[in-house]
Chains A and B, each alone.
Chain A
């Protein structure tokens, strides 16, 4: 840059406009010519891939059927039903049914919902299905009610009006849909009337407390419903589990449960209603066989009173220890990103602090006196390098990790291509924003030690403490909302379904904030750090 061009007033603006491009170029040269940093980024990518593959490959399962040699991996998997939306589902319940051709309406009054679950106050409570351990009681999502189902195949489309153990009346459909109806529990004095109406592909659910005043709960469209569907009463009950408010140990306890619904005033109107109800236990040989689900079923019918007992669940399969299947998530192969993050934070911090240490910063500021531009150029270059590194690493980690999980007999919960792209690109963006945060902290603090510690501790430690249950869940989820660690939510591929009881551990795949909201929190921290660095750099000499 010659002083001659600088002194001409008319050309200053022109120079400045392409000046930022030049500044970016010079920062890029500074980055790529330090061999240690380039090696650091490559090492970050390799470690991310290796650790991710290690975590993905560590979950092999084995099994043995009587009279056969033991098997491992894929051969152990039972039939895994998929719902209409492509998600892996649990579909096991006791069904008192008859076929219905064409349009029709089923109405029933539920006069009692009772159940049994594993006794968690006895010492043997954690032992799955340990025989006589069942005590009276309902799981929050024990269900009994009405259902219209496409067929008797697991995973087929359905819509149901159901009374639950602890969440009032719900209308649920196609495993993921859930709408609330009347609140409260069913008692002798307060029964619940339920009704489902089919008109073509459209099913409408109603509820009522007295049988004369009906409220519409929801209308759902089940695409491609055949002319003849299965309609009837159902009862089911998922695993009952309690997470005690403690940590530092195994605090999740659970076991099987069963639900019994007592119905009267059961009426089915429509063409070809035969009037005969037959009992079918859906999914009795299905994936539930792996989990500690009670095998209890039962159906009796006398004087217009129908009693139906079942165990299982009609819901999407979610990751976590409560799952009945050996599940894995797409993002599990990306858990190596923590190691990559540490390496990238170190390099990004040094990208700024090394200039202070060597005195190069004086030359930089002499060439470009505008502090903000230098800061912006460094943030852009640091972020871009981290993004590319992260993208390469996560694409390779997913490409190796997911097939590895499948071959080991894990059910990798399928997600849409869009979600998978969000997880992969989001991981790269997470590393990029963390790098920007580190660059900004390096510029603000000028000392590597403080900046690196601050960046690593705020991003990694909240996750670790919550994942290891070193903190009570309340504090842990609060930490994952407000600290930069909230950005890790961008990796969550399976949404949290309110109608499935799960633990909220981030190691199980759940973050308290939605993916993009969590990512926005991290971006806010990076922006705040940039603002602080800009403010301090403007006030200081160098």
Chain B
């Protein structure tokens, strides 16, 4: 396993793409969060139904697209240039290769996610009180002093990691980078779009409980917790099930098929 990890790390380290993508995760997540926070204010006298923690973490919606690209490229680029044959010749145990890829990917995405989410939280902490979201008006701080905010932040980092694993699993099943990215972006963004169109409450409830992104992002909620379709950690757990299923599917496909 140590050798496999080292091999994956070398493959990733020696091409410029992954470094840029990691940088893009941080920049896009923190940048969009800061823009969303900066564009929102609560004028005096109005009741604002805003969840400060969720607002401060808006950028995760964008960052996850880059995470997905990074994860897909990690395996599909090997399929497209034939490198995968060398990899499997050196390490015939397919699940081991996938596990090594998953570990390296998760480590990198979690590291980038920590920086990105820290930047988002910092933006919320610095900007929101000046825009009317003060403790005096009943808004909780987006800072280490408020537990649920920290749960939302830590959960968002884990969310990005799980999205990476989900994407890696789908990519291992699909193998072609274009199809894999299409499939992953569809999984990430289509369910929220369907939710916007569906008016049937029963289906809305099902979508909120069982789809990877909607359920997973409930980890960011710090207000109205009682009206959520699924509790924050359970929601992240649903995403975890999706990611685990995708990885399992990927491992099985790699095992059953020739490279």
Residues in B whose Cβ lies below 8 Å from that of A461: 62, 65, 189
Is B49 in contact with A246, judged by CB distance below 8 angstroms?
Answer: yes
Residues in B whose Cβ lies below 8 Å from that of A464: 189, 192-193, 196
Interface check B69, CB cutoff 8 A: yes
Interface check B178, CB cutoff 8 A: yes
Name the residue on B nearest A343 (C-beta): B182
Q: How far is the CA of A338 from the CA of B73 in the complex (A)?
A: 24
Q: Is the interface of B mostly helix, strand, loop or mixed?
A: helix
Is A448 in contact with B176, judged by CB distance below 8 angstroms?
Answer: yes
Name the residue on A nearest B182 (C-beta): A346
Least CB distance from A70 to B in Å reads 16
Query: Contacts A338-B190, A448-B178 known; A249 to B49 CB distance under 8 Å?
Result: yes
Query: Contacts A448-B177, A449-B73 known; A339 to B186 CB distance under 8 Å?
Result: yes
Beyond A245-B40, A247-B55, A457-B185, list 17 extra A-B contacts (CB 8 Å). Answer: A59-B199, A59-B200, A121-B45, A246-B49, A251-B49, A339-B186, A342-B190, A350-B176, A448-B181, A449-B72, A451-B178, A456-B181, A461-B189, A471-B39, A474-B39, A475-B35, A507-B196
Interface check A460, CB cutoff 8 A: yes
Q: Which of A43-74 contact B (CB under 8 A)?
A: 51, 54-55, 58-60
Query: Contacts A246-B42, A475-B39 known; A349 to B178 CB distance under 8 Å?
Result: yes
Give 1 or 0 for each of B62-78: 1 = CB within 8 Å of chain A CB.
Answer: 10010001001100110
Kindly name the residue among A54, A349, A449, A468 whose own CB sees the greatest number of chain B CB atoms within 10 A: A449
Interface check A527, CB cutoff 8 A: no
Is B178 in contact with A248, judged by CB distance below 8 angstroms?
Answer: no
Q: Which of A402-450 contact B (CB under 8 A)?
A: 447-450
Interface check B231, CB cutoff 8 A: no
Name the residue on B nearest A450 (C-beta): B69
Query: Contacts A246-B42, A335-B197, A456-B185 known; A346 to B179 CB distance under 8 Å?
Result: yes
Q: Which of A218-246 contact B (CB under 8 A)?
A: 244-246
Q: How far is the CA of A452 from the CA of B171 in the complex (A)?
A: 14
Interface check A183, CB cutoff 8 A: no
Residues in A whose Cβ lies below 8 Å from that of B88: none
Name the residue on B nearest A456 (C-beta): B185
Cross-interface CB contact of A244 among B48, B55, B179, B223, cutoff 8 Å? B48
Interface check A305, CB cutoff 8 A: no
Q: Which of A464-508 contact B (CB under 8 A)?
A: 464-465, 467-468, 470-472, 474-475, 507
Residues in A whose Cβ lies below 8 Å from that of B58: 248, 470-471
Is B50 in contact with A55, judged by CB distance below 8 angstroms?
Answer: no
Pairs across A and B, CB under 8 Å, 13 listed: A51-B194, A54-B194, A251-B49, A346-B179, A350-B176, A449-B73, A449-B177, A450-B69, A461-B189, A464-B196, A471-B36, A472-B40, A475-B35
Chain A residues with a Cβ under 8 A of chain B:
51, 54-55, 58-60, 121, 244-251, 332, 335, 338-339, 342-343, 345-346, 349-350, 353, 357, 447-453, 456-457, 460-461, 463-465, 467-468, 470-472, 474-475, 507
Chain B residues with a Cβ under 8 A of chain A:
35-36, 39-43, 45-51, 54-55, 58, 61-62, 65, 69, 72-73, 76-77, 80, 176-179, 181-182, 185-186, 189-190, 192-194, 196-200, 203, 223-224
Query: Contacts A449-B73, A468-B192 known; A58 to B198 CB distance under 8 Å?
Result: yes
Is A472 in contact with B200, judged by CB distance below 8 angstroms?
Answer: no
Query: Contacts A449-B69, A470-B58, A474-B39 known; A249 to B176 CB distance under 8 Å?
Result: no
Q: How far is the CA of A464 from the CA of B77 in the complex (A)?
A: 29
Name the residue on A nearest B51 (C-beta): A248
Count of CB-CB pairs between chains A and B under 8 Å: 129
Least CB distance from B165 to A in Å reads 18
Cross-interface CB contact of A248 among B54, B72, B199, B200, cutoff 8 Å? B54
Is A470 in contact with B36, judged by CB distance below 8 angstroms?
Answer: yes
Least CB distance from A229 to B in Å reads 40
Residues in B whose Cβ lies below 8 Å from that of A332: 197
Least CB distance from B194 to A in Å reads 7
Residues in B whose Cβ lies below 8 Å from that of A475: 35, 39
Residues in B whose Cβ lies below 8 Å from that of A450: 69
Least CB distance from A55 to B in Å reads 4
Is B61 in contact with A452, judged by CB distance below 8 angstroms?
Answer: no
Residues in A whose Cβ lies below 8 Å from that of B41: 245
Name the residue on B nearest A460 (C-beta): B189
Residues in A whose Cβ lies below 8 Å from that of B197: 55, 58, 332, 335, 507
The 6 A-B residue pairs with the shortest CB-CB distance in the complex, in nearest-first order: A448-B178, A346-B182, A58-B200, A59-B199, A249-B49, A507-B196
Q: How far is the CA of A357 from the CA of B76 in the complex (A)?
A: 12
Is B49 in contact with A244, judged by CB distance below 8 angstroms?
Answer: yes
Cross-interface CB contact of B40 among A247, A357, A449, cutoff 8 Å? A247
Residues in B whose Cβ lies below 8 Å from that of A452: 177-178, 181-182, 185
Q: How far is the CA of A472 from the CA of B42 in the complex (A)?
A: 12
Is A342 in contact with B185, judged by CB distance below 8 angstroms?
Answer: yes
Kindly name the residue among B65, B198, B224 whose own CB sees the greatest number of chain A CB atoms within 10 A: B198
Residues in B whose Cβ lies below 8 Å from that of A248: 50-51, 54-55, 58
